[in-house]
Amino acid sequence: MVQWELITSASRIFSKFVEVPGMTPGRHAVASLTEVGDGDVPFLGDATMKVYNVVPHYGSVEVRGEVDWDNDIRIRITVMVSDL
C-alpha cells in the first residue's frame, strides 16, 4: 500500500483533488482526514471531520468530506492506494 497527502484548508462540505501518479478509475483508494498545526503535525482538535466520497480518476483521487467548523482550518487529506 502506498499513500499520498495533501495539506489544505477547509470548512463545511468540500471537494479536493489529491494528485496520485499512476492512478486510474479502476483502482481502489481510501482516504482519511486529520487536523494539522504548526509544522503540519496532526492533532485532535475540536472540529469533527467526515469522509463522504472517494473517487479515483486518472492521475488523482477526488475526496469529498466535511469539516464541522465555521471557518477554514488546516487539514491533511491522506489517500491510500494498493497495487500502483
Q: What is the pLDDT of residues 18-32, one digit of tens each?
A: 999 999 999 999 999
Domains by residue range for the chain, with CATH: 2-81 (2.60.40)
Where do we find the cell 482516504? 31
| pLDDT tens-digit readout, 39-65 | 999 999 999 999 999 999 999 999 999
pLDDT tens digits, 63-83: 999 999 999 999 999 999 987
Please calculate the CA angle 16-80-67 and round it to the nearest 5 degrees.
40
Cell for 52? 463522504
Residue 84 pLDDT greater than 90, yes or no: no
DSSP 13: E
For the whole prediction, is pTM greater than 0.85?
yes
Contact by Cβ (8 Å): 9, 76: no
